[in-house]
Structure 1
Amino acid sequence: MKISAIIVVKNNPPHLFETLESIRNFVSEIIIGDIDIGNDYRKKLLENKKVRIVQLPSDIPFADLVKEDLKKQAKGEYILYLDPDEIYPSATLRTSPSLTTLMDKYDIFYFPRKNIIFGKWIEHSRWWPDYQLRLFKKESVIWPRQIHPVPKTRGKEYRFEAKQENAILHYNYDNLDQYLEKAIRYAKNEAQLRDNYSLTNALNDARTEFISRYFAGNGFKDGMHGFALAILQMFYYFLVYFYFWERKKYQNSEINIPVTYQGFVTNLYYESSFWHDLKILTFGVEKIKSKLKNTLFKMLK
């Protein structure tokens, strides 16, 4: 059974050779979509006999636009899609007999992904288990050419258990500059794709993003990392709106901005208070349960 790996690479990412090493014994070929890879870096890549490099235009804003084009060039029956900052769980891929058996029964595989952001594994904040569709039968998945696409799938799906040994290790963002560069790039393109986006829409999206990550997604358990990421993810929707406003030539089309903003602040305050009290109550109940269990255990000893 032939498996083709597909990776879109821009410039000279630091973890790419670790990525390639993690799949070395699992795939038959590695197709690399080249967006401005340096000459020396390219030569080193081509030392791997499985690697085939496909030149891509420099102005491609994100990899999702070219997944389907690269898939058509793959010779394998199955596709393993990777980002150049992802290290595959070698232990899971190495158990080829069991994985091969699964591939006889299933068409689409989802891996949990362990995101390393600002030097730390983010265990909450909706960043775990962060399931990703990565291995699939070639004709079972179609990737729409859009930002944050939801792939169209056909066939039986399998999800690896959300354990660290099954997880892709994802070096997501090393620093704030990396985060902001990507956020700006994605926000610009999302603004271009929207037909309409009001300040109210942006504020609602921003509020929902913060609440869902920091409170509902237990981001507070990730400490300052969780808080910073919830704020940054919330800020993304402000960027989308401001780039949309820029696209509309800075038209002053919003009515009563102070009232709209006041509604945002009020709703954010009430929702934050609700979730804060709920989490404290839940934590208190769990603490009582734990004490009762320990007491009963001691009594039964």
Structure 2
Amino acid sequence: MKLHPFSNMTDISVLIVAKKDTEHLIQTINSVVNWTKEVIIIDIGISKEMLSEIKNTKATIITHDGTVTYADQIRNKITKYASSSYVFFLDPDEVVPNDLQKYIQDNYLKYDALSLPRKNIIFEKWIQHARWWPDHQLRLYKKNIGTWEPEIHSKPVVNGTIHQVEPKEELALIHYNYKNLDHYIEKMTRYAKAESDDYLKGGNTFTLSIALSKGTQEFISRYFAGDGYKDGMHGFVLSFMQLMYYPLVYFYYWEGIKYEKHSQTDLIAASLNHFKDILLQSNHWIITKKLNPSISRIKQKILSMILK
């Protein structure tokens, strides 16, 4: 399709699944409504007040029946509502800035899909490390070439050429992510319950040792390997909260298997291995990145030998 040279309209349908977290939804709509063919809001529990505000925009509202815990569960199903050649999935807390808008308009027809960098605003700060940046999101692609797995934070499988947009701040989606700790914990709890349900329904075994190991890797990969320490207290808190996520998934899984008994020996072994692993890996990265010059390298090497 070739656009009229004097037209700023694109052959793109924007799809937004929304429920409770709608503080930025009108801003999200306004950032795309004037240059895309259509904006479709999939209502899975939006308040009456917010629905009234949406009706004052050019967006179309479609009510989705049934329980939906997270948007990824229904993205394949709702694609049918799009009438354009390209679909653009947005979350209700994501905003497209002007420079990214122009970039999409100028470039989307050259590729089958665009992978966009995303700027995460968490606890009132842009988080630039701990794997929160550039956080590329594959959200815009030709309508019939992408499919989503109905899993939390899944990524679409796209059969075509994917262009990864350069990770520049002005070309990044603005994601108003977690506004405070309560917001983070509420979402973490919701996601943990949903992920534990996936394990239970799929008949997959999930153990405490696996959960603790995954939690350790989250912390190490974000705080040390991912330079989370460069984001100060924000980086530490976010990395530590991610450490807690997988144990929480397991706790809900344990609840789902009717509080199955664990032997005292297994519990002690799992906890000792967990803390030993954290200390060993933390010490490795402290040495590698020279993060604690006040401790001699000899002492740190001795600590590494003890932990092994």
Give TM-score scaled by structure 2 length: 0.86
Alpha-carbon offset, residue 39 of structure 1: 2.0
- Residue correspondence of structure 1 range 21-60 to structure 2 within 5 A: 21-49=30-58, 51-57=59-65, 59-60=67-68
Q: Is the 8 A contact 1:31 1:70 kept in 2?
A: no
Q: Does 1:270 find its partner at 2:292?
A: no
Q: Secondary structure at the match of 1:213?
A: helix
Give the aligned partner of residue 208 of structure 1.
Answer: 217
Q: Secondary structure at the match of 1:239?
A: helix
Q: Aligned partners of 2:21, 2:188: CA distance in 1, in Å?
A: 20
Alpha-carbon offset, residue 40 of structure 1: 2.8
Structure 2: gaps (5+ residues): 1-9, 294-308
- Residue correspondence of structure 1 range 68-217 to structure 2 within 5 A: 68-95=76-103, 98-99=106-107, 103-194=108-199, 195-217=204-226
Q: RMSD value over aligned CA atoms?
A: 1.7
Q: Secondary structure at the match of 1:252?
A: coil
Report how many aligned residue pairs link the two structures. Answer: 279
Q: Which residue identity does 2:73 align to in structure 1?
A: L
Q: Aligned partners of 1:30, 1:281: CA distance in 2, in Å?
A: 48
Q: Is the 8 A contact 1:113 1:128 kept in 2?
A: yes
Alpha-carbon offset, residue 69 of structure 1: 1.4
Q: Is the 8 A contact 2:22 2:50 kept in 1?
A: no
1:67 is aligned, of 75, 81, 94, to: 75
Q: Aligned partners of 1:251, 1:28: CA distance in 2, in Å?
A: 53
Alpha-carbon offset, residue 80 of structure 1: 1.0
Q: Aligned partners of 1:20, 1:197: CA distance in 2, in Å?
A: 40
Q: Does 1:252 find its partner at 2:280?
A: no
Residues 149 and 139 of structure 1: is their aligned pair in 2 closer, same or farther, counting only changes over 3 Å? same
Structure 1: gaps (5+ residues): 284-301
Residues 280 and 143 of structure 1: is their aligned pair in 2 closer, same or farther, counting only changes over 3 Å? same
Residues 248 and 159 of structure 1: is their aligned pair in 2 closer, same or farther, counting only changes over 3 Å? same
Alpha-carbon offset, residue 97 of structure 1: 5.8
Q: Is the 8 A contact 1:187 1:236 kept in 2?
A: yes
Alpha-carbon offset, residue 70 of structure 1: 1.2
Q: Secondary structure at the match of 1:158?
A: strand
Q: Is the 8 A contact 1:108 1:140 kept in 2?
A: no
Alpha-carbon offset, residue 47 of structure 1: 2.0
Q: Is the 8 A contact 1:142 1:152 kept in 2?
A: yes
Q: Is the 8 A contact 1:92 1:165 kept in 2?
A: yes
Q: Aligned partners of 1:278, 1:243: CA distance in 2, in Å?
A: 36
